[in-house]
Each structure stands twice: as structure tokens, then as C-alpha cells.
Amino acid sequence: MKKTLKIIIPTLLLGVFAYLFWQAQQKTQERKEKEEALQEIPDFVFGQFSKNSLEKGKATIFIHFNSSCEYCQYEAKEIYKHREALSPYQIVMVSGEEEERLQNFVQEYQLQEIANLRVLSGDFWKYFTGSGIPDILIYDGEGQLKKRFRGETKIEAVLKVLAQ
């Protein structure tokens, strides 16, 4: 009996570790494929707004945010403050929150005054891979990814990427 257990337990442990390793490899591969897919603006739909709603030939900034996130609130203030410098670009802010909360956010940070900005409710992660907030993706006028910023980012850094 002891001899059998000495064989079964290590074999089971080895099997479990092999399975866990395989699972980790699968997730890494999925993440890599999703990141590669982001090299171009994905086909997304947030309510009535989709990839086809974007103006062709114009650089686009996508921002995944949450209205209660302090970093996102900072980003909103910075966007308003730099609205003139950002005016040549399309800005799409997406949150998974309800429309009412988003409208309050828009009013609080005066984002309705920025004509080239859209604040939308939707599952950002579904199209742009899972990520934290804020998450900023900058695409050029041809829809190619120029840069991705994760976490709080100064608008000056975004403008520098857009100027290249």
C-alpha cells in the first residue's frame, strides 16, 4: 500500500503541475494574440457608436475609465485643460458604467464642451483586451496602434506620441 502511494502521489502532483503549466501557457498565448490584434483598431460597438463611426484619416485616442477612479478624474481634468491641443484628434472614452453616472461625470468635468470627444458605455475589455483603468490607446489616422499607456498618464505624454 505504501509503495503504491509513493508512486501515485508524485504522479498525481506531476500531472497537476503539468496541467497548471499548460493552462498558464494557453493564457499567455491568448493574451499575446489579443495584443497583436490591437495593432489595428478592432471592430467594436459601444451602443450606436462603432468603428465605422470614426472619422477616417484622423488619429484616435481610446480611454478606458471609471468615473470613481481618481486617476481617471485627473485624466478628465487634463483633457479639458488641454482641449485645444487635443482638438485635431478623436477622443473616445469608454466605461462599463450606467449612462446616468457617465452623464454626471461628463457634466462635472465639462467634457460636453469638447466637440471631438465621445463618452460611451460599453465593455471596453471585450474589444481591447482586459486591462486596468485608466488605459489609453493611441491610433494614428490609418488605424495603427502608436502607443498604449496603462495607468495614470500625463496628457503631455499623449500629445508627444501624437506629434510623432
Write the CATH number for 65.
3.40.30.10
Residues 63 and 15 in one domain: no
Q: How many CB atoms lie within 10 A of CB 95?
A: 24
Residues 92 and 124 in one domain: yes
Residues 64 and 17 in one domain: no
Residues 62 and 28 in one domain: no
Residues 30 and 107 in one domain: no
Strands 60-64 and 135-139: antiparallel
pLDDT at residue 35, rounded to an integer: 67
pTM: 0.79
How much is the average pLDDT of 39-68?
A: 92
User: Which residue range is the domain that position 129 belongs to?
Assistant: 45-163
Distance CA 153, CA 14 (A): 44
Residues 129 and 50 in one domain: yes
The percentage of residues in the chain with a pLDDT greater than 70, rounded to a whole number, is 92
